[in-house]
Amino acid sequence: MTRKLVLFDIDGTILLSAGAGRRSIHAAIAGLDGVKEDLPAIRFDGKTDPQIVIELLTAAGHPSPREPRVISAVLERYVGHLEGDLAVNGHRSRLMPGIPQLLDALETEGGILLGLLTGNVEPGATLKLRAAGLDPSRFRVGAYGSDHPDRPCLPPIALKRAEPIVGRTMRGDEVVIIGDTPADVHCAASIGARTIGVATGGFSVEELEAAGADQVFQDLSQTPRALEAILY
């Protein structure tokens, strides 16, 4: 019987892609009509891909930054650029400390359903996981930036997708969301999930604690401690 749905963020939590995502989304936007030649620097962490596209287009002066057709076209171009970038630079991708061991331990534990809760569009998530040496099929549930541009809307989607696998409707307190940004922590409130912050991205332990994470780790390299925090 499934007792926990464990949802991992990708960038900064599971892996780093050595800048492939940023290069690819910039390449997808560069050259669009109405866009300045030099794209502004914005933070990507904690945001969904559609949100990043909207912010970049807005800052670059595009006349219709929120037009769904424009966003979809940019994201389609982005996935193509990402595939090409990772084909060349994918060997530079790396898993965060302790991730392989923790995933193995969770799968061995039993009663755990592994999933993703990420701002990546689904094809981008798949490309990044494979480049880092992880089989995407290990994560049987997913909620992605391609499902909704607002991150707080993703946990309910993940819960709904878990139903046919689990055979029942899981409660929010049976869900654990693991991420490296305050946005990962805050989105859990939409279903009342527990949160584990990990300071392997761009935010410190103190910042993740201030965001309200139930537990925070510098990294997930101490498998027994991380496992205990998840199963608590």
For 182-231, what is each residue's pLDDT tens digit?
A: 999 999 999 999 999 999 999 999 999 999 999 999 999 999 999 999 99
Task: Quote the pLDDT of residue 39.
Answer: 78
Cross-strand bridge partners of residue 8: 116, 178
CA distance 10 to 142: 11
Task: Quote the pLDDT of residue 168.
Answer: 94
Number of other CB atoms surrounding residue 166 within 10 Å: 18
Cross-strand bridge partners of residue 194: 176
If you average pLDDT over residues 49-62, what whole number do you get?
93
pLDDT at 31 over 80: no
CA distance 77 to 21: 12
pLDDT at 136 over 80: yes
pLDDT at 37 over 90: no
Q: Would you put residue 220 in left (φ > 0), alpha (ψ -120 to 50) or beta?
A: alpha
Q: Interhelix angle for 49-59 vs 68-89, to 10°?
A: 110
pLDDT at 36 over 90: no
- In contact, 217 and 198? CB cutoff 8 Å: yes
Tell me what percent of the residues of the chain surpass a pLDDT of 90: 90
Helix (H) or strand (E) holding 78: helix 68-89
Task: Quote the pLDDT of residue 38.
Answer: 74
Tell me how long the chain is.
232
At 40, the pLDDT band (50, 70, 90 cuts) reads: confident
Q: Where are the beta strands (DSSP E) in the chain?
A: 4-8, 15-16, 94-95, 112-117, 141-143, 175-179, 194-198, 215-217
Please give the DSSP secondary-structure letter assigned to residue 142. E
CA distance 87 to 21: 13
Locus of tokens 């595939």: 83
Task: Quote the pLDDT of residue 65.
Answer: 92
SS3 148: coil
